[in-house]
Amino acid sequence: MSSLSYLPMMISKLPMVAICVAGIILSMLLWARCPRAALLTLIASAVMLAGVFMQTAITFRLIYGAASRGNSAGMMLWSVLSSVGGLFSFAGWVLLLIAVFTGRARPAKVPYAEPVQHAPRPNAPL
């Protein structure tokens, strides 16, 4: 089994890899403007990128390992480890939502204004 056998599995993950890399680059570029959101985005993107690589590598090893051994225990292990990849994705999305929705200035409260009372028009029909 060569290391090039891993590449076809990664091709399907390229969109997610591209989004994670873009998140890392954008968070570094926008660090001065909003450091807290940029830090959370950087961490979230890195966590999700690590999850993509780990989940693909684990899947690759278990599929080829189970095929060569002919046992079904590898499939049970794969389902457990697949859940770990899901947890990485979950953690990344939680951090991104926190980055988006926390630390923002609240809108200023508008004082309550009394409705304007207009005088009735003299020849207005009732």
Give tens-digit pLDDT for 77-93.
666 666 677 777 788 88
Nearest to 98 by CA among 51, 54, 34: 34
Q: Give pLDDT tens digits for 41-59.
A: 899 999 989 988 888 887 7
- Per the prediction, the chain carries an average pLDDT of 75
Integer Cα distance of 12 and 69 in angstroms = 26
Instruction: Calculate Rg over the CA atoms of the chain.
Output: 27
What is the tens place of the pLDDT at every residue in 102-117?
776 665 676 666 666 7
pLDDT at 101 exceeding the cut of 60: yes
